[in-house]
Structure 1
Amino acid sequence: MDIQYSTALVTGANRGLGRAIAEALAAAGAKVYAASRSGTLAGPVAGGIVPVTLDVTDAASIEAAADALGDVTVLVNNAGVALSGGPISAPSLDRARAEMETNYFGTLAMARAFAPLIAANGGGAIVNVASIVSHAPIPQAGTYSASKAAVLSASLSMRAELAPRAIRVLTVLPGFIETDMTANNDVPKISPEAVAADILAGLRGNAEEIYPGVAADLARAFYADPKAHERALAGRLEAAE
């Protein structure tokens, strides 16, 4: 698709990956609505970027955004939370519910609200930011992994449903990204700008799933022997006890 003539809405765009995606789209010539719960962006705002207020967990907020932003042709569902916790070891179900509410239900609600608008504007794309843990879950972040697996599964169904309406659905499955969310994780990370560049390349091409950096290698290794991944993680948890 020609990004230069697109109007994009990016959720969770106040910092991190969302901010990088918004800036990359604007640099490519798109008009960009940069959405956040506060409705403000820190620091200088690039030309072509319009800050908007949006809470993806609030139905009224989504409805108001859909009413106000009728020219959207590209929706980037980036807003997400990672509260950490294993399905059993987490102190309660509260974190799991919060992650599902933002990561999965927020993505689903936004797609439902904006797909009709994108179709009415002649078609376009929906980009859902999932994670490599959609494929290969991490026990210590098991509830987050489950929420991102739900995003991946929903994306597959959306793709089939929306293809007749000239709307592409792209799923982004990165590994660890250099953001506030991963500040305490001592692991190799990819920059938000690199992920944003891969997303733009995917939009310009025919991508359906985007694996930034080493994520493609991680996915291949997981599917080559999923049980080995499970055994390795179990072994690490046992050694840590």
Structure 2
Amino acid sequence: MAFDINGKAALVTGANRGIGKAIAESLLQHGATKVYAAVRNLDSVQPLVATYGDRVVPIRFDLAQPETIAQAAHTATDVAIVVNNAGVLRKAAPLAEDAIAALQFEIDMNVFGLMRMAQAFAPVLKANGGGAFVQLNSVASLKSFADFATYSASKAAAYSITQALREVLGAQGTAVVSVHPGPIATDMAQDAGLAEIAEPPALVGEGIVTALKDGKFHLFPDSTAQQLGAAYASFAANVVEANLTEA
């Protein structure tokens, strides 16, 4: 299901830095009329506002406070594209003392947060003609890494929910994109010790615009992700994106 951002209003969570900021900039550069920058600290969006003026509208948003998700949907009633970029990472191996606590936190933010976003914005997108819903997953949603086992598990669950959203939201005319970046140059990558192999966040923003125009469900934006995506392509096409209920 193809979607062109030109002339549309968008909302991007975590738009103040890293991947979220790059996504907001790509949407604006490709003709978005407005981007709601959904962030915890409204002042953190000022660099975007300084560049793009009133095309950037900061709104308060915190995955840890579900009421802010509902309020964002109540405020941004004109959006045609929602990008759920915000997420968390706790570096925890499965036998670590804090592994269960880390997983509980990541599930709440990365999975329940996704579900809350979809439930809040699905009616808005439907009312505005269908639009698009973009979820930032990760290569870790397809391949677990021992040092990031709990994060990988949360992203695998988010990817599973995203697949279901593709079907459910597709029925109302909403395009869905599942984004699977590898190491991207962000604070999260720095904290994870991946800075040396990280690639520019702009790859994700530009990749989303292209994936939407091409009607693609999966996006593997960087070289690490593309290597994994090439190996995964057959399964993605023949299982994940196939209608297995047909005889």
Asked if Structure 1 and Structure 2 have the same fold, meaning a TM-score greater than 0.5 normalized by the shorter chain, the answer is yes
Secondary structure of the structure 1 residue equivalent to 2:197: coil
Partners of 1:89 and 1:149 in 2: CA distance: 20
Q: Which runs of 5+ in 1 are unaligned?
A: 225-241
Query: Which residue of the partner structure matches residue 199 of structure 1?
Result: 208
Query: Which residue of the partner structure matches residue 197 of structure 2?
Result: 188
The answer to which of 23-32 and 122-131 deviates more is 23-32
Of the three residues 137, 140, 143, the one matched with 1:133 is: 140
Q: What RMSD over aligned residues (CA atoms) do the two structures have, in Å?
A: 1.7
Partners of 1:145 and 1:181 in 2: CA distance: 14
| Contact 1:96–1:144, Cα closer than 8 Å, also in 2 | yes
Q: How many residues align?
A: 224
1:121 aligns with 2:141: no
Shift of 1:34: 0.8
Q: Which amino acid aligns with 1:103?
A: N
Query: Which residue of the partner structure matches residue 154 of structure 1?
Result: 161
Partners of 2:20 and 2:97 in 1: CA distance: 28
Query: Which residue of the partner structure matches residue 95 of structure 1?
Result: 102
| Contact 2:14–2:86, Cα closer than 8 Å, also in 1 | yes
Q: Which runs of 5+ in 2 are unaligned?
A: 235-247
Shift of 1:178: 0.3
Partners of 2:16 and 2:108 in 1: CA distance: 19
Partners of 2:196 and 2:139 in 1: CA distance: 14
| Contact 1:135–1:219, Cα closer than 8 Å, also in 2 | no
Query: Which residue of the partner structure matches residue 60 of structure 1?
Result: 67
| Overall identity of the aligned pairs, in % | 39
Query: Which residue of the partner structure matches residue 231 of structure 1?
Result: none
Partners of 2:199 and 2:99 in 1: CA distance: 31
The answer to which of 73-82 and 22-31 deviates more is 22-31
| Contact 1:57–1:105, Cα closer than 8 Å, also in 2 | no
1:14 aligns with 2:24: no
Partners of 1:146 and 1:152 in 2: CA distance: 10
Query: Which residue of the partner structure matches residue 70 of structure 1?
Result: 77
Q: Which amino acid aligns with 1:5?
A: G
Partners of 1:8 and 1:93 in 2: CA distance: 35
| Contact 1:23–1:49, Cα closer than 8 Å, also in 2 | no
Q: Which amino acid aligns with 1:13?
A: A
Q: Which amino acid aligns with 2:174?
A: I
Partners of 1:165 and 1:62 in 2: CA distance: 21
Secondary structure of the structure 2 residue equivalent to 1:165: coil
Shift of 1:120: 0.6
Query: Which residue of the partner structure matches residue 176 of structure 1?
Result: 183
Shift of 1:175: 0.3
Partners of 2:206 and 2:135 in 1: CA distance: 15
Secondary structure of the structure 2 residue equivalent to 1:86: coil
TM, length-normalised to structure 1: 0.88
TM, length-normalised to structure 2: 0.86
CA deviation map 1:118-165 (0-9, x unaligned):
001111100000000111110100000011111110011011111120
Q: Which amino acid aligns with 1:34?
A: A
Query: Which residue of the partner structure matches residue 105 of structure 1?
Result: 112
| Residue 90 to residue 124, structure 1, CA distance change in 2 (3 Å) | farther
CA deviation map 1:2-39 (0-9, x unaligned):
21121111001111000110111111121100111112
| Residue 121 to residue 181, structure 1, CA distance change in 2 (3 Å) | same
